[in-house]
């Protein structure tokens, strides 16, 4: 048997500048065996190496990938909606090939907090199921993903929390809370089909607070692409509107300063729920409905069905729950 150098390899949507994915990596590194060397597959290995003090290789550096696979003990997927073809079949094929490569070199494959699907292409669905049968440990984050895995051996898959939920306690300490003087609404939007229509439906509702100088709007992009979408709101909001520079280290603290949140990104909404903030969660695809749970102060609206009227109704309810307007003194 060859002598292994005890590497743990981490795979996912890392190095792309998405706060949610970077939070998954930051927390997911808890799965690493600290007696081993960690190597992260990344779109920006220099950034990843510097930020997390780990080894990192570019996701398309096939020679480096083969080298580390040859000497690795484990390939770890710490979470996320990686195995789906709604956004890209090419990305799906890449990660399926990474799994196959790991098994070719006898590497143990472990997955935690995974969301599986949705699938547009039926053949992609069949391909994914059959390759995931090779995974040694598979934990999914929602019931729909478990249903997707009906054909697999039960011992290879079980239901558990999203990685953000599992390790969030370390981020929930010493949060400053909202300001007593200003009512703050945190907003996250992302590029998606018909996002222009969504903005058209909600901006007139939000603009009703434009004259209230005690209201502040925090525009919170979870990726660079989100910022361009959020800027479309600026003409309709007041002068107390700020584009927030957010990162994995300050995400919980910043969102904790909001009295109410309106969001599209799954992990933005997840943080709001963990912090028990009244929130309107805009479900742009299935994972937003499957992982998040509606409640007395958490409203989930299907993006394709949002109208000015139903958004206004939910927004009014969320305002009341969050204590707007604040009592004088």
What does the DSSP 8-state code read for residue 2? P
Q: Which residue has the higher pLDDT, 322 or 156?
A: 322
Domain boundaries, the chain: 7-170, 183-321
- Give me the mean pLDDT over the 261-272 stretch: 96
- At residue 168 the predicted structure's pLDDT band, cuts being 50, 70 and 90, is confident
CA distances from 318 to 5, 66, 271, 292, 323 (A): 53, 51, 17, 17, 9
| Average pLDDT over all residues of the chain | 91
Before 312, cis peptide (omega within 30)? no
Q: What is the pLDDT of residues 87-109, one digit of tens each?
A: 889 999 999 999 999 999 999 99
Instruction: State mean pLDDT over 276-284.
Output: 95
pLDDT of res. 178: 64
pLDDT at 329: 46
Token pair 């190597």 in the structure block, residue = 39
- In CATH, the architecture of 7-170 is 3-Layer(aba) Sandwich (3.40)
For 36-52, write each residue's pLDDT tens digit: 899 999 999 999 999 99
Q: Is the pLDDT of residue 4 over 70?
A: no
Lowest mean pLDDT among 3-17, 21-35, 92-106, 130-144: 3-17
- The predicted structure's pLDDT at residue 1: 41
Q: What is the pLDDT of residue 127?
A: 93
Name which residue leads in pLDDT, 35 or 194.
194
**The domains spanning 7-170 and 183-321 adopt the same CATH topology:** yes
Q: Which of 121, 126, 117, 152 is nearest to 138 (CA)?
A: 152
Give the mean model confidence (pLDDT) for residues 114-133. 91
Contact 216, 241 (CB under 8 A): yes
Q: Is the pLDDT of residue 144 over 60?
A: yes
Please give the Cα distance from 214 to 326 (Å, whole number). 9
Whole-number pLDDT of residue 328: 52
Question: Using CA atoms, how far apart are residues 83 and 178, in angstroms rounded to an integer?
Answer: 37
pLDDT tens, residue by residue, 196-223: 999 999 999 999 999 999 999 999 999 9
Q: Would you say residue 174 has pLDDT above 60?
A: no
Whole-number pLDDT of residue 151 = 60
Higher pLDDT, residue 239 or 181? 239
Tell me, which fold does domain 183-321 have in CATH? Rossmann fold (3.40.50)
Quick one: pLDDT band at residue 146, thresholds 50, 70, 90? confident
β strands within 44-129, DSSP E: 55-58, 72-77, 80-83, 108-116
């Amino acid at each position: 048997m060859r002598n292994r150098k005890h590497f743990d390899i981490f795979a996912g949507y890392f190095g792309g500048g998405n706060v949610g994915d970077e939070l998954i990596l930051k927390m997911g590194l808890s799965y690493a065996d600290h007696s081993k060397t960690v190597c992260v597959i990344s779109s920006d290995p220099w950034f990843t190496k510097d930020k997390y003090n780990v080894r990192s290789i570019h996701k398309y550096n096939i020679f480096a990938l083969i080298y580390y696979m040859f000497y690795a003990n484990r390939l770890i997927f710490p979470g996320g909606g990686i195995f789906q073809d709604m956004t890209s079949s090419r990305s799906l094929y890449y990660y399926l090939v990474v799994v196959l490569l790991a098994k070719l070199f006898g590497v143990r494959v472990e997955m935690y907090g995974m969301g599986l699907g949705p699938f547009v292409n039926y053949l992609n669905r069949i391909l994914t199921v059959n390759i995931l049968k090779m995974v040694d440990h598979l934990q999914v984050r929602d019931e729909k993903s478990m249903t997707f895995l009906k054909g697999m051996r039960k011992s290879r898959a079980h239901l558990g929390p999203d990685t953000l939920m599992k390790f969030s306690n370390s981020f929930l300490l010493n949060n400053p809370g909202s300001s007593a003087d200003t009512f703050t609404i945190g907003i996250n939007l992302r590029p998606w089909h018909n996002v222009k229509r969504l903005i058209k439906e909600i901006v007139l509702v939000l603009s009703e607070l434009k004259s209230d100088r005690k209201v502040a709007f925090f525009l919170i992009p979870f990726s660079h692409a989100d910022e361009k979408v959020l800027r479309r709101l600026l003409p309709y909001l007041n002068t107390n509107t700020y584009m927030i520079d957010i990162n994995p280290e300050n995400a919980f603290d910043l969102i904790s300063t909001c009295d109410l949140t309106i969001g599209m990104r799954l992990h933005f909404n997840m943080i709001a729920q963990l912090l028990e903030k009244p929130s309107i969660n805009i479900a742009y695809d299935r994972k937003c409905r499957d992982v998040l749970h509606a409640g007395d102060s958490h409203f989930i609206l299907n993006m394709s069905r949002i109208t000015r009227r139903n958004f206004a109704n939910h927004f009014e309810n969320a305002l009341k729950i969050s204590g707007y307007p604040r009592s004088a003194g």
